[in-house]
Amino acid sequence: MAKQGSLVPLKMLLFSFHATNTIILSFLPLYLAYKGLNGTEIGWVLAIGPLASIFAQPFWGYISDKYKTVKKVLLICVMGLLIFSTVFFQMNSLISIMFMGAVFYFFTTPIGGLGDSLAQRRADELSISFGSIRTWGSVGFATSSLIIGEILSRYGVQYMIWPYLFFGFIALLVVTQVKDVKVESEPVKLKDINILVQNKAFLFFLLAILFLSIAHRTNDSFIGLYITELGGSEALVGWGWFAGVITEALVFATAGFWYKKYHPLVFVMVAGILYSIRWFIYGTADSPMFVIGLQFLHGITFGVFYLAALDYVTRLIPKLLQSTGHLVYYAVFFGISGIIGSLTGGAIMDHYNGSTLYYTMGFISLIGTIAMFIYHVMFSRIRSVNN
């Protein structure tokens, strides 16, 4: 019971961080539009976060492995979140927003990856489902999207900094109570990262999921603008995210019952097929309620895909490099794909419309799904060994 009780601060950390994350993910594009930026400029700002994460994720993962602590790195990053978000929201020009955004994201983007890495290790220690811990992040995300959507719809998106700082301070309080994990006896050395670089299965897997994650990250950036393009309000944007993330939370919460029945790669491939179908359907939308009504697909695409892909990555990398490997995965999933999705998505929204964007995302996901099936065939021997 004492071990189980020690999970409460970790669950609250995931809850509060993802509550802040939904504010940025759901409403920052609307906030930037309020500031007077067009679709292409919004795309440039949104690309700064993924760009920063490419450097920040491996850097903080390396520091975590080298000094054998996840908790202290999380504490530094949450403090950076509070300090630099305050400065970021004071900026008005495109250049200043992009510059401070880079600093802000450098501290913010690794928190999700480090939190999930910590949750994965704690789940292994206690022999429980990772999803039973990670679901609290989804609950925080869903709760925040619904409540903050209603608040911003009533008072204005320009006040989004206040709820952001509120949840950020909760994260700061609970991270001090989080139990650190037992790490490997030897600290990681910079040259050890070559182990990841030389792991062909790991690299090909990252390449395969890149296409699926590009479409996913494009949706993250522009679904809010798509809903407003179709006539929706900030409140409906919040409801859209709430509907999606609630199903994600259910997937994570019930993972212990269904997840072990098949190899994680099977779930990744199934999620890829569903992703492709999902985006093509979204492209046919003619009202915001149509999109919101189909948001239940978020859980059975992202929820299944993320859980299975993270587990598979864990199988492909040595324990000594768990944090580094997880955050390299994060750099691809939320970094490179986020840059491509933000830049191309903003341009398509400016020159065409949201429907065209989602049809494009459907084709990109289809390419990723085919690549995943090719990976399955090429590395079936490794898959069998790790099964």
pLDDT value of residue 381: 57
- Residues 9-14, mean pLDDT to the nearest whole number: 94
Higher pLDDT, 258 or 140: 140
155-169 confidence digits (pLDDT tens): 999 999 999 999 999
The answer, yes or no, to whether residue 347 has pLDDT greater than 60, is: yes
313-324 confidence digits (pLDDT tens): 888 887 777 767
The answer, yes or no, to whether residue 183 has pLDDT greater than 80, is: no
User: Alpha carbon 249 to chain centroid distance?
Assistant: 14
pLDDT value of residue 317: 80
The per-residue DSSP string of 61-124 comes to HHHHHHTT-SHHHHHHHHHHHHHHHHHHTT--SHHHHHHHHHHHHHHHHHHHHHHHHHHHHHHH
- Residues 54-81, mean pLDDT to the nearest whole number: 87
The closest of 252, 253, 349, 243 to 305, measured between CA atoms, is 252
DSSP class of 296: T
- Residues 24-35, mean pLDDT to the nearest whole number: 91
Higher pLDDT, 322 or 85: 85
Backbone angles phi and psi of 362, in degrees to 5: -60, -45
244-288 confidence digits (pLDDT tens): 988 888 888 887 777 777 888 899 999 999 999 999 999 999 999
- Residues 137-149, mean pLDDT to the nearest whole number: 89
Higher pLDDT, 185 or 111: 111
Q: Which two tokens stand for residue 51?
A: 């760009």
Least confident of 101-105, 192-196, 251-255: 192-196
Higher pLDDT, 188 or 227: 227
pLDDT value of residue 169: 97
pLDDT value of residue 129: 82
pLDDT value of residue 128: 87
Share of the chain above pLDDT 70, in %: 93
pLDDT band per the 50, 70, 90 thresholds, residue 2: very low
- Residues 62-79, mean pLDDT to the nearest whole number: 89
pLDDT value of residue 384: 44
pLDDT value of residue 387: 47
Identify the top-confidence range among 21-35, 128-142, 325-339: 21-35
Q: Which two tokens stand for residue 171?
A: 């994260």
pLDDT value of residue 185: 45
Q: To the nearest whole number, what is the mean pLDDT of the chain?
A: 87
